[in-house]
Amino acid sequence: MNITNKKAFFEYFIYDKYEAGISLYGTEVKSVRENRVDLSNSYVKFIGDELFLINAAFSSQNSPPPPRSIKLLLHRREITQIASKIKSKKLTIVPLRMYNRGSLIKLEVALAKSKRSFEKKEAAKKKDLEREIEKELKEKPS
């Protein structure tokens, strides 16, 4: 099980990554194990002195659970480190991927800075160029 937030890699420059535990309910855990989670519109926010995942979409077969803010479990020193970096460098916290480690479900969050529109276009052009080069190399016999 590995759910990635592809939109985050396109819209942000990723700097530091952290692994956080998540406190989920039963139906949310079931939808995570079935890969029915959408992280594309979600974000991480400080509420008080704790981190919460906001706007994550869990969908199950019977009925989707009501949207709620989900508490992220990090060590106190990691939380203070993240808070100081956000204030000093003007960064945001973005969820990158959700995965399981044994029976636990983890969320990888990152400190990120938003890309401007011209930087997004440059990244798309670079990716297309690399894709074309790979295609040409595969077609040429050695």
Mean pLDDT score, 8-34: 88
Length of the chain: 142
The total of other beta-carbon atoms located within 10 Å of residue 5's CB is: 25
CA distance 51 to 69: 10
pLDDT band at 142 (very low <50, low <70, confident <90, very high): low
E strands along the chain, which residues?
Answer: 2-4, 12-22, 37-38, 43-47, 50-54, 57-58, 70-73, 92-101, 104-114
CA distance 65 to 68: 9
CA distance 26 to 31: 9
Is the pLDDT assigned to residue 108 strictly greater than 70?
yes
CA distance 73 to 51: 8
pLDDT band at 9 (very low <50, low <70, confident <90, very high): confident
Q: Where are the domains of the chain?
A: 2-115
User: pLDDT (tens digit, 9 = 90+) per residue, 83-94?
Assistant: 999 988 889 999
Tokens of 54: 């906001």
pLDDT of residue 118: 82
- With respect to CATH, is domain 2-115 assigned 2.40.30.10? no
CA distance 46 to 44: 7
User: pLDDT (tens digit, 9 = 90+) per residue, 122-135?
Assistant: 888 888 898 888 88
The mean of the pLDDT values for the chain is 87
The answer, as to whether pTM is greater than 0.75, is: yes
pLDDT of residue 111: 93
Is the pLDDT assigned to residue 67 strictly greater than 90?
no
CA distance 91 to 112: 6
pLDDT of residue 96: 93
Give the strand pairing for 37-38 and 57-58. antiparallel
Is the pLDDT assigned to residue 20 strictly greater than 80?
yes
